Structure 1
Amino acid sequence: MERIKLAIEKAKSQGPGSAPVAPIKAWPTVPSVAHVANDEHIEVQYTQTDVVQLDAAHLERHRVVAFNKHHPANWAFDLLRTQVLRKMDENGWRTLAITSPSMESGKSVVAINLAVSIAHQSQRTAMLVDFDLRRPQVANYLGLKRDTSLNDVLSGAADVSQALVNPGLPRLVVLPTARPVPKSSEVLSSRKVGHIIGDLRDRYADRIVIFDLPPILAADDVIAVLPRIDCVLMIVGSGMSTQKAIEEAMRHLGGANLLGVVLNKDETPVRKGYY
């Protein structure tokens, strides 16, 4: 545990655009989402996007807690949201990659909860894209069963708008990946994915797009797509990564805009039993 903390501190001092550690565990011309903004909040009307209601017990089992504002762990993701948005606003960034050094760090859970927390803000909209093409988990954690997904968009069988889903929370849409994608690194570095990222970023000025990426050390997928995304957040699972792995992952980030490092799965007792 102590080695991980020391490695994180070293990574912070070396990484460009570093921020403090957060203490927590192409589509058609007719838009599928209509934004109506005023001085107080943004209203979203889903004209073509499917709206589904999620199962609360399923979310709880997979530690997706941010949907429930009364959950004792929710405050931690709200705190992370405030830190992330402040840094992104300062730099005019609207796309955020979330990754980890290795597997089992909880990056997908953090990505989901952060997207939900952002969507709770009345002046923001959020999109969550599952770009972990080797081991997609977002749909599974949310309990989404979709006939159309990012797989169909990449194959040319569907438009982005047909694959989007609203999980019953205003101002949030999800672009899930239903199954692993062959040659994922080549796909993520393709011109088509570049166009998708650009369109998702530029369509709405109030939108924050979060991309759940694979672990950095699992393959070269993150290196392939990261230059197209504004900034990155590193998730380190307590006890899941060695100091050497963390330092190697930081070197792979190169000149990326690192927002900070999240220490996840920390068992240190904190208020309200948050993990």
Structure 2
Amino acid sequence: MEKIKDALDKAKVTQNGKVRQATVVRSKNSSNLPKIDNDLETIVYNSQNVVQLDSVHLENHRIVAQNKLDPTSWVFDSLRTQVLQKMEENGWRTVAIISPTPDAGKSVVAINLAISIAQQPQKTAMLVDFDLRKPRIAEYLGIKHEKSINDFIAGKAELSEIIVNPGIPRLTVIPTNSPVLKSSETLSSAEFQKLIVELKERYDSRIVIFDLPPILNTDDAMVLLPQVDCVLLILGNGLHTESEISETMRLLTKSNILGVVVNKAEVEQRSYYYD
């Protein structure tokens, strides 16, 4: 608990350069998957899976990492650097983004981190919406793609058909368009275990970011965590009780905790803390 308390004291996040109370900054068919050359300078996507994002929509949903003119984009670049350094030190390639309870801003952090990682010339990033109970990635990015994880689960789409490039080089997204019934059972299925292995192992350069449900509200995250290399914990400043944080840390005792991000902070300073 001392490390978490220290993180709460040290880590702050702001939105759009303004200090604001309680505000988040924010069967395999591989033939159509992105093809990447040796130095990652060129990525060719299936044109049917490319969508263009709207800058105003992104700003309204606190997605800032793609805009280097935004004064808060540096927060996610700095977070990216520390995340990648620690993952590379340990040979980790998958990271789960979780929070104790809802409204901590985990999906906004996940999106901004994925965009920032994709801006590294020697990395590719894949953002996967595995918050099957309350998916938000497509909504926040403004992605309107016909097929998603829902279709994959129903056997109506191949993996290649649900992967989306949001017009940002080296970034792909797997959206979930609507809540999934029996989400915990779905995540623990053999099919999803194979899917995670496929996403992780296809490219050595790929970092896979999984947006998971709050850990205290459902067992979905606990089902998936054993298959993920490490965890980035998102805390909403002043949002969680001490007992909620304690219980979260207890549930994560068998996980590799990459770091802690404290969101919705009032003071403008660095927004994360590492062991």
Report the TM-score when normalising by structure 1: 0.89
Q: Is the 8 A contact 1:153 1:159 kept in 2?
A: yes
With over 3 angstroms needed to count, the CA separation of the structure-2 counterparts of 1:49 and 1:6, relative to structure 1, is farther
- Tell me the equivalent position of 1:53: 52
Matches within 5 A, 1:68-147: 68-147=67-146
CA distance in 1, matches of 2:262, 2:67: 22
Q: Is 1:221 aligned with 2:227? A: no
CA distance in 1, matches of 2:268, 2:80: 22
Q: Is the 8 A contact 2:11 2:261 kept in 1?
A: yes
Q: Tell me the SS of whatever aligns to 1:269.
A: coil
Q: Is the 8 A contact 2:12 2:266 kept in 1?
A: no
Q: Tell me the matched-pair count.
A: 257
With over 3 angstroms needed to count, the CA separation of the structure-2 counterparts of 1:210 and 1:22, relative to structure 1, is farther
Q: Tell me the SS of whatever aligns to 2:30.
A: coil
Q: Tell me the SS of whatever aligns to 1:211.
A: strand
Cα shift readout 1:212-231 (whole Å, capped 9, x = no counterpart): 00000011001101001111
- Tell me the equivalent position of 1:16: none
Q: Is the 8 A contact 1:42 1:124 kept in 2?
A: no
Q: Is 1:187 aligned with 2:186? A: yes
TM superposition shift of 1:240 = 1.5
TM superposition shift of 1:42 = 3.3
Q: Is 1:8 aligned with 2:8? A: no
Task: Report runs of 4+ in structure 1 exceeding 6 Å deviation.
Answer: none
Matches within 5 A, 1:158-177: 158-177=157-176
- Tell me the equivalent position of 2:151: 152
**RMSD between superposed Cα atoms in Å:** 1.9
Cα shift readout 1:124-163 (whole Å, capped 9, x = no counterpart): 1000000000000000000111210011111111111101
With over 3 angstroms needed to count, the CA separation of the structure-2 counterparts of 1:268 and 1:10, relative to structure 1, is closer
CA distance in 1, matches of 2:221, 2:46: 33
Report the TM-score when normalising by structure 2: 0.89
- In structure 2, stretches of 5+ residues that fail to align are 14-24, 271-275
- In structure 1, stretches of 5+ residues that fail to align are 13-20
Q: Tell me the SS of whatever aligns to 1:53.
A: coil
With over 3 angstroms needed to count, the CA separation of the structure-2 counterparts of 1:34 and 1:100, relative to structure 1, is same
CA distance in 2, matches of 1:62, 1:6: 33
TM superposition shift of 1:184 = 0.6
CA distance in 2, matches of 1:7, 1:103: 22
CA distance in 2, matches of 1:204, 1:266: 36
Q: Is the 8 A contact 1:139 1:177 kept in 2?
A: yes
With over 3 angstroms needed to count, the CA separation of the structure-2 counterparts of 1:42 and 1:22, relative to structure 1, is farther
